């Protein structure tokens, strides 16, 4: 650790909630459209500003994402009325995926607001006592009532997309049926079409710290090269992903240094950790120390990639938010509210709730010790 005081980390950190996409895509049990929409609505009421909502992929590749068109349609027709603007993000593996998204925009005569120079500003964070996890945290509601009383809408929501490349040839072939070079050339028309519709583009670099087919020793220079290429091609941000959760503190530190040496600005980078080996929070601190201020996480720790066998879910949103607040960082997300969402959705999916900070917070609240 190089940080000696909380003040040094007292920045805003943007959380990109991936539970409704990465969290659910690998679930064998079919989750109903109603429950997916309910999840997105509940997440929208926690203070989150960035939520992955689905994937425009062929159903034969990822059956769980087959209802993505209906999700986008619903969010266009009945946008959650929150006080903060929310960017809903959809994965697109190829131009066909984005064309399908744009068709829905056109069917509903919907447009994104013009692109602004920066991401929307989040609402104020919890008080310092709440942020430190020490003060009185007031429960907002019964989780079953959370989405029924939205606050008045003062802002407009946006649609964003994510495209993806991988740092190893084997993963690229399994995940997208093409080479790394082909995945980059596929990205060019996607970025071009997205720009024409004022749609922000995120790039993912998968298997940055370990590959299910090639092992943990993924070349950090390859990750840095791909990150630079995606940014140069026009991605607004690149999420560097530890798909397998094999990342360790020393290798994450080396990766961050390699990215910096390659000239990548930390403000253009997000980090996406899976927690297979329980290293996600440690690696998050490494990323924070390197200057990254955007982290992906999944409510309840749900998740996994269909092409990364054995990898568990993403770092839980509840745990990363608790960590960040304890360091004095602002996220704008209400830990109690998101803990309630984690409790609810893991029950729906029938999985263990991996959001330990969320479970502890709710349990203390219910015992009357918070």
Q: Phi first, then psi: what are they for 272, rounded to 5°?
A: -135, 100
Nearest residue by C-beta to ligand HMG? Answer: 206
| Region binding ligand HMG by CB under 6 A among candidate stretches 57-65, 123-131, 133-141, 194-202 | 57-65
Between residue 158 and residue 177, which ones bind ligand HMG under the rule CB under 6 A? Answer: 164, 175-177
Give the one residue of 89, 243, 279, 353 binding ligand HMG; rule: CB under 6 A: 243
Give the one residue of 27, 33, 35, 61 binding ligand HMG; rule: CB under 6 A: 61
Q: Are 241 and 278 in contact (CB under 8 A)?
A: no
Q: Quick one: 57 or 226, whose CB is closer to ligand HMG? A: 57
Nearest-angstrom CA–CA distance, 76 and 112: 10
The DSSP code sequence of 42-91 is: HHHTTT-SEEEEEE---TTT-GGGTTHHHHHHHHHHS----SS--EEEEE
Instruction: Name 307's Cβ contacts closer than 8 Å, sequence gap at least 6.
Output: 171, 174, 175, 212
Minimum distance from CB of 111 to ligand HMG (Å)? 22
Tokens 């120079």 locate to: 117
Distances (CA, A) of 271 to 206, 295, 296, 317: 11, 5, 6, 13
Give the one residue of 204, 277, 295, 344 binding ligand HMG; rule: CB under 6 A: 204
Minimum distance from CB of 203 to ligand HMG (Å)? 10
Between residue 84 and residue 143, which ones bind ligand HMG under the rule CB under 6 A? Answer: 91, 93-94, 96-97, 100
Q: Are 202 and 235 in contact (CB under 8 A)?
A: yes
For residue 101, the surrounding DSSP H or E stretch is helix 95-107
Give the one residue of 272, 325, 337, 359 binding ligand HMG; rule: CB under 6 A: 272
Q: Quick one: 93 or 122, whose CB is closer to ligand HMG? A: 93
Is 305 one of the catalytic residues?
Answer: yes
Which SS3 state, helix, strand or coil, does residue 123 take? coil
Q: Does 187 bind ligand HMG (CB under 6 A)?
A: no
Q: Are 351 and 342 in contact (CB under 8 A)?
A: no
Give the one residue of 15, 37, 62, 357 binding ligand HMG; rule: CB under 6 A: 62
Minimum distance from CB of 89 to ligand HMG (Å)? 10
Q: Quick one: 156 or 177, whose CB is closer to ligand HMG? A: 177
Minimum distance from CB of 318 to ligand HMG (Å)? 19
Choice among 211, 235, 305, 329 that is catalytic: 305
Say how many residues touch ligand HMG, by CB under 6 A: 26
Nearest-angstrom CA–CA distance, 346 and 155: 30
Nearest-angstrom CA–CA distance, 94 and 100: 10
Residues facing 274 on adjacent strands: 314
Active site residues: 305
Binding residues vs ligand HMG (CB under 6 A): 22, 25, 55-58, 61-62, 91, 93-94, 96-97, 100, 164, 175-177, 204, 206, 241, 243, 272, 305-307
């Amino acid at each position: 650790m190089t940080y000696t005081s909380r003040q040094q980390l007292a920045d805003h950190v943007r959380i990109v909630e991936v539970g409704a996409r990465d969290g659910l895509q690998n679930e064998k049990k079919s989750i109903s459209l109603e429950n997916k929409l309910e999840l997105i609505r509940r997440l929208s009421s926690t203070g989150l500003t960035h939520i992955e909502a689905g994937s425009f992929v062929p159903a034969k590749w990822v059956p769980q994402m087959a209802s993505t068109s209906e999700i986008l349609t619903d969010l266009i027709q009945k946008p959650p009325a929150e006080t903060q603007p929310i960017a809903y993000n959809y994965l697109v593996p190829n131009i066909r995926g984005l064309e399908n998204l744009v068709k829905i925009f056109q069917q509903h005569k919907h447009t994104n607001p013009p692109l602004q120079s920066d991401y929307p500003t989040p609402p104020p964070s919890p008080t310092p006592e709440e942020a430190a996890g020490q003060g009185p945290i007031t429960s907002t509601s019964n989780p079953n009532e959370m989405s029924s009383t939205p606050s008045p809408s003062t802002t407009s929501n946006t649609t964003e997309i994510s495209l993806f490349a991988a740092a190893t040839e084997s993963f690229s072939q399994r995940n997208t049926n093409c080479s790394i070079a082909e995945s980059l050339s596929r990205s060019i028309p996607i970025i071009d079409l997205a720009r024409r519709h004022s749609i922000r583009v995120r790039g993912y670099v998968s298997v940055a710290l370990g590959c299910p087919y090639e092992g943990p020793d993924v070349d950090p220079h390859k990750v840095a090269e791909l990150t630079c290429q995606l940014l140069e091609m026009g991605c607004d941000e690149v999420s560097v992903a530890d798909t397998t959760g094999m990342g360790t503190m020393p290798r994450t530190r080396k990766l961050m240094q390699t990215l910096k040496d390659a000239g990548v600005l930390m403000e253009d980078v997000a980090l996406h950790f899976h927690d297979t080996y329980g290293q996600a929070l440690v690696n998050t601190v490494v990323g924070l120390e390197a200057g990254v201020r955007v982290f992906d996480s999944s409510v309840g720790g749900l998740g996994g990639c269909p092409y990364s066998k054995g990898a568990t879910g993403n770092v839980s949103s509840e745990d990363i938010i608790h960590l960040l607040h304890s360091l004095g960082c602002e996220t704008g997300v209400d830990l109690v509210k998101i803990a309630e969402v984690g409790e609810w959705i893991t029950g729906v999916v029938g999985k263990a709730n991996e959001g330990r900070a969320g479970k502890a917070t709710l349990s203390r609240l219910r015992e009357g010790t918070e």
